Each structure stands twice: as C-alpha cells, then as structure tokens.
Amino acid sequence: MRGANCGPAQTKESVGSRYEAVASIATRQHGRVSHAQMLAAGVDRDRIKRWSADGRLRLVHREVYALGHTAPASLADLMAAALACGDEAVASHRSTLHARGVLRECPPRPEISVATYSGRRQPRIVVHRVASLPRADTTTFHGIPMTTVPRALLDVAPMLSPSDLCQACHEAWVRHRVTPAHIEACIARNPTKKGIAKLRRAYGADATLSELEKGFLRLLDHHGLPRPRTNIDLMGDKVDCHWSQHGLTVELHSYGFHATRWAFENDNTRRRRSRHLPFTWGDVFERGAQTAAELRALLDHRRGGDGAPGAISALGAPAPARGRW
C-alpha cells in the first residue's frame, strides 16, 4: 500500500527534476537546448512532444528548442544555430564579427562553420562546410562556440568591399587588439583560403571612420595641405591623423560626452598645444580656413619631425607610418 502511494509522487518528482535539468542546460546556452541533450538528460521522446505541445518547449530549428529564456535574441539565435548543426559546429563569418562588435549590420541569417556536416539543410541557417577548423581558430563567447576574430576576418575577406574590410580590421584592433601577428598566424593555419591578399591589404591600409574624419581630409585637400595617415598605431596608441615627416598628430573629437558644446570646445582649445593636437567638428566645418592656416604653420615648422622649417609647397607624399595594428 505504501509503495502504491509513493509511486505517483516519485514519478512527479522525477519529471520535475528532469525538467530542472533541461532548464539548467538551457540557462547555460541562452535559453536553447537540443533534442539530443534532453535525451541525454533522461527525458524520453514522448515527454519532449508533450512539453512542446503545452508550450514549455518552442521549436527554433530542427531538434533545437527554446525554453522560455530572456537572453538577447542575437546570442540565443547563434546558440540555437550552432546546436542545430552538431557538436563540432561554431558560429562564424559575419555572425562572429557581429557578435563581437566588429561588424555593425546584423547578418540576415546565422552563419555556422563545421568541418563535417551530414545533417539535413537548415533553411534559416547558412552552413559553411570547411575542410578544416583548427582548434586555434575557435573560441567561446558568452558560452557560444565560434571562430576567433582573425579567422572570421579571413572568412569574410572575399565577401566584403575593400573599404568595409578595412573598417572591420580597424574595429578588430580597437575592440580586440587583433594584431598583424594574429592575422598572419591564422593565415599560416589556412594557407589556401581565398581573400588572403585582400585581407593583408586591408589591415595595412588607412581607415576613415566618421564624417568628421572625411570632412577633415576634404579640408586638407581644399587648402592644398598634405594628407596624413589615418587611424594608425603610433607607439602603441591609436591616433586619428599622423604626419610622420612632421612628427605631428591630430585627434578629431566629437562632443557627445561633454555637458555642453561650449565646454567641449573650450576644453579642446586649452589642449591645443599638447603633443596630440585636438580639433573639433566646429574647427573642421565652421572654422575651416582658420584650422587650415594653423595646420599649415605647424607643418611648415615641423617638417622632418624635428622642428626643421620647410615649405608645404615643396612637400612630397608623407612617408609611410607603421601599420594600424
């Protein structure tokens, strides 16, 4: 009699513990869990069907489910896509760069790379079947398996325009300190990948990242002043504009983080005589002639990087500075 009374309670307790186990798996995976993971946790196929029917599970991809989680949708989508493509699958290409803040536009569908994939076609996932995926080219980000940033840059190099790839390389340096050594190590592991030469050109080129920077370069052209290198690494410090022949560095500052525009402009005026010369939106677009005259005097005075005088009209192209990285 006691055994009969305990049976249903034990069954209910067992079901509850299995649901908690599934919920624990989903919590670690941004609210997503695979059919195989639930089977491994002791949940039978019939119960999975019942949980799907009563709304506790929601089908996201074939044999991948959402379990009522509040994770950011983009991360949850990437986790679900990786789960749908097997144990060795990793987020890659634009998906990796978007998740890491290197590309700003949202990819239309999750992109996944996998060395061996025998599953059926996933209509909402872009699956890249790769010949090899070295361990050094993979990592995890918020628990999501994905390619490293250098590998993702190499993957997307054939697909992006030169300017977009150049900007992505710049963002990779700013956000993740991706250096030429990291890129070259990745290339050495993947010597037959397409886009290698294009990627090398991109991370060695100058980037122009804002309307303020573009306006500053137009101002220089209009007044016949030599163009600097832009957004490069100078002794470990990223700088906006640098004339190597003159030892002159200019920083172009917006005023979004100051309480008032007047306070920002006044602060930059006080800093004008510092080693890194600051210019603002107003300097470029409202006081362009004054700014150009000031730069001309400085460049004349500092030709050669040591303060030696020299005429701007006699200047050639600036000597190459170190690469952005």
Are residues 85 and 122 in contact, defined by beta-carbon separation less than 8 angstroms? yes
Determine whether 43 is exposed, middle or buried from the number of CB atoms within 10 Å of its CB (0-12, 13-18, 19+): buried
Q: When comparing pLDDT for 308 and 179, which is higher?
A: 179
| Higher pLDDT among residues 152 and 5, named by residue | 152
User: Between the CA atoms of 164, 130, 28 and 171, what dihedral angle is there, to the nearest 10 degrees?
Assistant: -20
Compute, in degrees rounded to 10, the torsion defined by CA atoms 190, 173, 201, 250: -170
Question: For 104-117, how does the pLDDT look when each residue is reduced to its tens digit (9 = 90+)?
Answer: 877 778 999 998 76
Least confident stretch, 15-19, 85-89, 240-244, 271-275: 271-275
Q: Is the domain defined by 211-314 classed in CATH 3.40.960.10?
A: yes
Q: In whole angstroms, what separates CA 283 from the centre of its chain?
A: 31
Query: Distance between CA atoms of 82 and 60, rounded to whole angstroms?
Result: 12
Which of 57-61, 89-93, 274-278 is the least confident region? 274-278
Tens-digit pLDDT profile for residues 156-169: 999 999 888 988 99
- Neighbouring C-beta atoms of residue 271, cutoff 10 Å: 14
pLDDT at 234: 75
| Domain boundary assignment for the chain | 20-70, 73-204, 211-314
Starting at the earlier edge strand, list the strands of the sheet with 58-61: 32-34, 64-66, 58-61
Q: Tell me if residue 116 falls in helix, strand or coil.
A: coil
Instruction: Report the alpha-carbon distance of residue 128 to residue 78 in Å, rounded.
Output: 14
Mean pLDDT lowest among 36-45, 103-112, 178-187? 103-112
Rounded alpha-carbon distances, angstroms, from residue 208 to 4, 71, 165: 76, 34, 12
Question: Checking phi first, is residue 210 left (phi over 0); if not, alpha (psi -120 to 50) or beta?
Answer: beta
Q: What is the pLDDT at residue 205?
A: 77
pLDDT for the residue 266: 52
pLDDT band at residue 77 using 50, 70 and 90 as cut-offs: confident
Higher per-residue confidence, 269 vs 29: 29
Which of 33-42, 49-58, 136-145 has the least mean pLDDT? 49-58
